[in-house]
Each structure stands twice: as structure tokens, then as C-alpha cells.
Amino acid sequence: MPNAFFIDVSRCTACRGCQVACKEWHGLPAVQTKQKGTHQNPPDLTPYNYKVVRFRERIMNNDREHVVWNFFPDQCRHCTDAPCQSAADDYVEGAILQDEDTGAVIYTDLTKKLSVEAFEEVLDACPYNIPRRDAKTGAVVKCDMCIDRVRSGLLPMCVATCPTGTMNFGDREDMIQLAHERLAIVKKQFPNAQIVDEDSVNVIYLITDAPEFYADDVMAAAKPAPAPLTRKEFFAKLARPLGAMKLNV
């Protein structure tokens, strides 16, 4: 049975322990950042930050006495039918795989063979703006569900580190059940509370406010159907995997 995260943001204090633990486990170096007047740091995901705790502050109903802080520990959703994988397969088959046992969407070393243009298509396919490309190595990277830990019976590092019960991990059905139990409780205090994109992801968020009050791309936007390919575009797309293979030899 696939695994899932349940991320209950009603419990998050934005301590950023999960963000730091992720970097530590993956051996990712520090990045130069700038303080931009917000608690959020770094400002966005980078090739060396697979996880970032996003932070939005807002004044409710023009009442300056009533300020709300919304925290959102952002990461790859490990989509059940990952659009990034389909996009990458057009260029380098096997660059992105989905592990059947856990449901983890894994970026392999073959992502280094994706061109900048191909990476842009992978990023564009992701409804949550997650993958990042390391300009030095060419690798495309993101959260890997700590697959090495999970296969050894351990929790992902962010879950093991979280001190508040925000981060949960286990069998997908158990996580969905837990999400709905928490929703029933949280809704009493936050009537706008909702579970995000439950059917299409293995990282299930419970948020207490409308998605736009957390960050961009919290929820997958309904993307318009793509325009049909012209004859020229169709044959160009058909030729791409062959081109990529030639480059690989």
C-alpha cells in the first residue's frame, strides 16, 4: 500500500525544524539568502532546499488588532499520477520514476541529461512549482520522501523532527482517515478549513484558511486543456526521445 504524508498546518509553529532536518539528512549546503522582512527564509525552494516553510501574514477585516500568520511547510506532493514524470519521459525515459511500494516520486541521476528546455517543461508540468535544477551539476532535484529511511522502516526526517504533530507519515488510507478526523475538529474553530487535493497527491495538507492566504500554488489550479499540436509540433515532439538518446551515447 502506498504511503502518504498528512501535514496539519493548524499545528505548525513555523519553527523550521523540518526544513533544517531535511537539509541535514540530504547533506545539502547552506545558501546565501537575504532578509526580506519576512519570517520565511530562504525566499523559495532552491536546489539545496527541498523543503521551505512559507509564511504569509495578513490583517483580517481591516482590523490591525487582528493579524493572522499562515505557515505552510511546502514540498513535493508525490502526486499519484505525477505530471512531472510524463513531461520528463518525453525527453529522457527513467529520469523520473514512481516507486510502487511507497508511491514516492523519485528523480534519478538521469535528470542530468535533461536539457534546460526539458527542465522548463518538467517545471511547467508540476502544479505546485516544485522541481529545481542545479546549474552546476544539471541535476533536477526535490524531496525524495527520504526513501532510504522509509525503506529501512524509519520516518522521513521532517516527520521525525517535527515537535508539534504537524508532520505525519504512514499508510495512505490511515493518513486520509487522520486528515478527516482532524478536519472535523479544526473546522469548529476555522470554518474555512479544508483538505487539499486529497485524491491526486500523497502529501495531503489540512489548511485552515483559503489557499491563496498561504502561498501561490498551494492547490493545483485547474489547468486549461492544451491546444492541439500542429503537424510540425507533433513530429518535433515525436523526434525528441530519439534526439535525447543520441545525446546520451
In the complex, least distance from residue 129 CB atom to ligand SF4, rounded to whole angstroms: 8
- The interface region with ligand SF4, picked from 13-21, 33-41, 147-155, 234-242 by CB under 6 A, is 13-21
Per CB under 6 A, contacts with ligand SF4 among 152-211 are 161-162, 164, 166-167
Per CB under 6 A, contacts with ligand SF4 among 108-127 are 126
Number of residues interacting with ligand SF4: please give it, by CB under 6 A. Answer: 27
Nearer to ligand SF4, 63 or 199 (CB): 199
Does the footprint of ligand SF4 cover residue 77 (CB under 6 A)? yes
Among 54, 78, 132, 172, the residue binding ligand SF4 under the rule CB under 6 A is: 78
In the complex, least distance from residue 152 CB atom to ligand SF4, rounded to whole angstroms: 21
Among 119, 128, 205, 214, the residue binding ligand SF4 under the rule CB under 6 A is: 128
Q: How far apart are CA 175 and CA 201, in angstroms?
A: 12
Task: Show the site string, 24-63: x = touches ligand SF4 by CB under 6 A, - = not.
Answer: -----------------------------x----------
In the complex, least distance from residue 222 CB atom to ligand SF4, rounded to whole angstroms: 15
Q: 229 in helix, strand or coil?
A: coil
In the complex, least distance from residue 105 CB atom to ligand SF4, rounded to whole angstroms: 4
Lookup result for grid cell 523540518: 18
Q: How far apart are CA 5 and CA 11, in angstroms?
A: 15
Does the footprint of ligand SF4 cover residue 16 (CB under 6 A)? yes
In the complex, least distance from residue 231 CB atom to ligand SF4, rounded to whole angstroms: 29
> What does the radius of gyration of the chain's CA atoms come to, in whole angstroms?
19
Nearer to ligand SF4, 85 or 113 (CB): 85
CA angle 90, 120, 7 (to 5 degrees): 95
Q: How far apart are CA 49 and CA 29, in angstroms?
A: 9
Does the footprint of ligand SF4 cover residue 105 (CB under 6 A)? yes
**Run of H or E including 76:** none
Q: How far apart are CA 8 and CA 164, in angstroms?
A: 10
Alpha-carbon torsion, ordered 170, 172, 177, 179, to 10 deg: 80
Does the footprint of ligand SF4 cover residue 82 (CB under 6 A)? yes
Rounded alpha-carbon distances, angstroms, from residue 201 to 54, 78, 196, 227: 19, 6, 9, 26
Q: How far apart are CA 214 and CA 249, in angstroms?
A: 45
The separation between the first and the last C-alpha atoms of the chain, rounded to the nearest angstrom, is 37
Q: How far apart are CA 29 and CA 218, in angstroms?
A: 26
| Residue ranges in contact with ligand SF4 by CB under 6 A | 12-18, 53, 73, 76-79, 82-84, 105, 126, 128, 130-131, 142, 161-162, 164, 166-167
